[in-house]
Amino acid sequence: MSKNDALNVDRAHPEAVLAKHMKTAAIWQAAAHEVAAEATTYHADPNAPIGLFDSGVGGLSVYLHLAEQLPAERYVYYADTLHVPYGNRDSTDIERLTLRAIEWLYQQGCKLIVIACNSASAYALETARRCYPQLPIVGLVPALKPAVLASNTHRVAVLATKATLNGALLNKVIDAFALPNNVEVTKYFDPLLVPWVEAGMPEEDETARRLRQQLTVFAQAGIDQLVLGCTHYPFFKGFLLEEIARQQLSIQVLDSGQAIAERVKQLLLSNQLLASANIKGNDDGENDNNAHRAIATNNQISPIVRLPLTFYASKYDETLGALIKQLVGQETVLQYASK
């Protein structure tokens, strides 16, 4: 990679990095009370970064919304690419891996953490909040409520991982909101969707063909709202919208990224943690309040990002940088760093 593609590249063995910064799974439960006690005395710096965590690159879809709404903030992203995807793992494993990631971001001094992964949120959000009671932690739940309100046919579908579909967060919303409104919720799971996104979403792939076919099935079932319940999925929202238009289907596509960004902004304001808008972004001393800008093109977010996105991965290979560039834009400056 050239210096325009990445800064501070360090390909040290990921386990060595994790060992230095994270609690191991074997001692986690014993240390949980100590971590909670430590967190009660935590005082964040408004200029500290916002941390984002996902099993892979999917959480970058949430980052794009955050960068658009909160352009003066700094962001640290941790991708557990060594263990992606989480959606096929059992609940205990998901919780263990998520808590390790939260601890790592906490050690980086993050003032707020977004669990930008629906599967991780479903099984570890409440535990993480108990362990870090003074640290704002935002989790994800599929955007089912707005889909229920918008549906004219009273039939909606949620496209998500198996872990999210079986998790308590989504099913609480179904029981408390969809059922009282007489809305039927169809759950759909394809284990190859996350790997497809991680592979760059080649349109000739069998997964793409299967996704096109599934849209037809949804339409035939009278579904008029499709909820993308995994942070990887908004990256193929444009693909879905093009196919919906081609088939002339009456299906709307929703994701939760915008709502998450609004929630983060509210928490930063209420906790007096909003970063100063006067962040110097250029060498000439001009303020760069528009360091993060997003341009809507064909219903996709195409960002121009000038401030570096600090990106850490538990496993790095030569294709990861190219994939991130594809997903978040060619103007993004990335930092791969290990300590």
Cα–Cα distance measured from residue 337 to residue 191, given in angstroms and rounded to the nearest whole number: 30
Nearest Cα to Cα of residue 211 among 192, 224, 198, 230: 192
Q: Are 38 and 132 in contact (CB under 8 A)?
A: no
Output Rg (C-alpha) for the chain, integer angstroms: 20
Cα–Cα distance measured from residue 123 to residue 126, given in angstroms and rounded to the nearest whole number: 8
Q: Catalytic: which of 117, 125, 240, 305?
A: 117
Continuous H helices in the chain = 14-21, 25-39, 60-69, 91-107, 118-131, 144-150, 162-166, 168-173, 193-198, 206-220, 237-247, 257-270, 318-328
Q: Catalytic: which of 125, 230, 240, 313?
A: 230
Cα–Cα distance measured from residue 227 to residue 162, given in angstroms and rounded to the nearest whole number: 14
Would you call 110 a catalytic residue per the annotation? no
Residue 34 corresponds to which tokens in the numbers above?
């100590």
Would you call 230 a catalytic residue per the annotation? yes
Q: Which residues contact 251 (CB under 8 A, 6 or more apart)?
A: 215, 218, 219, 223, 224, 225, 226, 244
Cα–Cα distance measured from residue 138 to residue 143, given in angstroms and rounded to the nearest whole number: 15
Cα–Cα distance measured from residue 17 to residue 20, given in angstroms and rounded to the nearest whole number: 5
Task: List the catalytic residues.
Answer: 117, 230
